[in-house]
């Protein structure tokens, strides 16, 4: 690791700590040349699959889109941001566990619906109405029957 102060490539690790989730390592380092200290953080870099849209186009996985979907579906609903973040983490883990290089939006939408159903039934119905392109009231009644 290169020193931030003098660019010397000789540094010594003084202390190493693991984060609570055990996915991040924080190291305290000391430069052997200038004796200055600094911290480094190491994280696992995950390669998310490419998302294949319904029209066949491909784009990078964008977790912000999932977060926006949750925010819209849960608008004015009593669900904490911690629960939302946990649900989004769960979605990421499920997608990664597939081990695929490409994932269809349909699969992501299904996983999002399952997570929303766990959090809030109203949000689930809101999301389903857009995701499944409800055309009339019978579509709503069908999904409400499923939720009960």
> For residue range 22-60, what is the model confidence (pLDDT) as tens digits?
778 999 999 999 999 999 999 877 789 999 998 999 999
Is-contact 105 50, C-beta < 8 A?
no
List the alpha helices (DSSP H) in the chain. 63-73, 81-97, 105-119, 121-131, 137-147
The full set of domain ranges for the chain reads 11-43, 50-147
pLDDT grade for 1, boundaries at 50, 70 and 90: confident
Q: Residue 133: which residues within 8 A CB-CB, separation 6 or more?
A: none
Determine the pLDDT at residue 142.
Answer: 67
Sheet holding 50-52, edge to edge: 58-60, 50-52, 102-104
Cβ-based burial of 19 (10 A; exposed 0-12, middle 13-18, buried ≥19): exposed
- 9: its two tokens: 């490539």
Nearest Cα residue to 28 out of 43, 44, 6, 11: 11
> For residue range 70-123, what is the model confidence (pLDDT) as tens digits?
999 999 889 999 999 999 999 999 999 998 999 999 899 889 989 998 998 888
pLDDT grade for 130, boundaries at 50, 70 and 90: confident
């Amino acid at each position: 690791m290169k020193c931030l102060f003098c660019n010397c490539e000789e540094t010594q690790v003084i202390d190493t700590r693991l984060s609570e989730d055990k996915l991040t390592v924080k190291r305290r380092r000391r430069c052997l040349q200038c004796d200055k200290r600094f911290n480094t953080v190491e994280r696992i870099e995950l390669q998310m699959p490419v998302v294949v849209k319904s029209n066949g186009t491909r784009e990078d996985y964008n977790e912000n889109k999932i977060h926006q979907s949750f925010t819209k579906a849960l608008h004015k609903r009593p669900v904490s941001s911690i629960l939302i973040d946990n649900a989004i983490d769960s979605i990421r883990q499920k997608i990664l566990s597939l081990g695929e290089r490409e994932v269809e939006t349909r699969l992501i939408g299904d996983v999002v619906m399952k997570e929303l159903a766990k959090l809030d039934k109203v949000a689930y119905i809101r999301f389903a109405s857009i995701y499944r392109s409800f055309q009339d009231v019978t579509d709503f009644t069908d999904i409400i029957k499923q939720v009960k």
